[in-house]
Amino acid sequence: MSVTGLEVCVDDADGLAAAIEGGADRIELCAALSIGGLTPTAGLMALAGPPPVPVYAMIRPRPGDFVFSAGDLDMMRRDIDAVRDAGLAGVVLGASLADGSLDAPMLRKLTGHAAGLGLTLHRAFDLVPDFNDAMELAVELGFERILTSGGAKSAPQAIDRLAELVELSAGRLSIMPGSGVTLDTVDALLARLSVSEVHSSCSIREPAHDPRLLSMGFVTEDRRRTDTTTVQAMKAKLAAHDAR
């Protein structure tokens, strides 16, 4: 299968520009990627739209688990409205029950509110006790793809499980490997998986230059930023795989 898509996750204006310049096929727009991504600000959404490439906004109102309250649901509905108003292409959603299974009633409300927007199911999927049940629900609700690491911390740790998920999907939606997908790991993934897209931050480490910011807790030691050259290199890797 040809790998036609590179989705790059970004969480600021510079990252958005770098991903577009590097040739990303789609962008996942977030805040706070260091904690897995939260809903981007209205300002960043407005800056991203209308975009030259499809942009999907993360809809996750807070850090922590994916067990959402009625108040969280109200926030997420309003954030979906902001995505639509900004002219973005889609949303990235997920919601869990206490046992890790997908919260079908919550997801029905969210996907219904997002009618007309593209849908990605995020890595709440990686917590489910039964991948088959979760897959069937994702198909029923009209998700285009599942962003997943195969239930592991990173996708390279779960290549066999990801292959099983691709088979289970039977072409009804895309299985998009994400988490730990880098220039060093993508070849092993592509050699084993019949996928049409991958998800990566395409980032490089950026050390904190001002120790005062670090000591005050305003930045972290492992700050990363989206890098245009890395996006270009990842695109070249995908093109080389397709040419084989």
Residue 151 sits in which domain range? 5-243
Residue 214 pLDDT greater than 90, yes or no: no
pLDDT (average), residues 48-60: 94
Q: For position 210, what pLDDT does the model report?
A: 72
Q: For position 102, what pLDDT does the model report?
A: 98
- Residue environment code for 26-51, b if the CB has 16+ CB neighbours within 10 A, otherwise e: bbbbbbebeebbbbbeeebbebbbeb
Number of folded domains in the chain?
1
Following DSSP, what letter does each residue of 168-190 receive, concatenated? HHTTSSEEEE-SS--TTTHHHHH
Q: For position 244, what pLDDT does the model report?
A: 76
Neighbours of 206 (CB within 10 A): 12
Model confidence at 222, in pLDDT bands (50, 70, 90)?
A: low
User: 121 near 94, Cβ under 8 Å?
Assistant: yes
Residue 2 pLDDT greater than 80, yes or no: no
Q: Which of 101, 51, 109 is nearest to 80 (CA)?
A: 109
Q: For position 208, what pLDDT does the model report?
A: 64
Residue 221 pLDDT greater than 70, yes or no: no
pLDDT tens digits, 12-47:
999 999 999 999 999 999 999 988 999 999 999 999
Identify the residue with better confidence: 220 or 150: 150
Q: For position 220, what pLDDT does the model report?
A: 66
Q: For position 179, what pLDDT does the model report?
A: 97
Q: For position 40, what pLDDT does the model report?
A: 98
- The token pair at 81 is 């409205």
- Tell me the average pLDDT of the chain: 94
CA atoms within 13 A on the CB side of 54: 14
User: 154 near 93, Cβ under 8 Å?
Assistant: no
Distance CA 81, CA 173 (A): 25
Q: For position 34, what pLDDT does the model report?
A: 86
Neighbours of 213 (CB within 10 A): 13
Identify the residue with better confidence: 71 or 209: 71
Determine the distance from the C-alpha atom of residue 77 to the mean position of all C-alpha atoms in its chain, rounded to a whole number: 19
pLDDT tens digits, 155-199:
999 999 999 999 999 999 999 999 999 999 999 999 999 999 999
Question: H or E stretch including 90?
Answer: strand 90-93
Q: For position 218, what pLDDT does the model report?
A: 65
pLDDT tens digits, 93-147:
999 999 999 999 999 999 999 999 999 999 999 999 999 999 999 999 999 999 9
List of long-range contacts for 49-53, beta carbons under 8 Å, 24+ apart: 49/86, 49/87, 49/88, 50/87, 51/20, 51/27, 51/87, 51/88, 51/89, 52/20, 53/20, 53/24, 53/25, 53/26, 53/27
User: 49 near 88, Cβ under 8 Å?
Assistant: yes
Q: For position 211, what pLDDT does the model report?
A: 75
Q: Which CATH number goes with the domain that contains 136?
A: 3.20.20.380
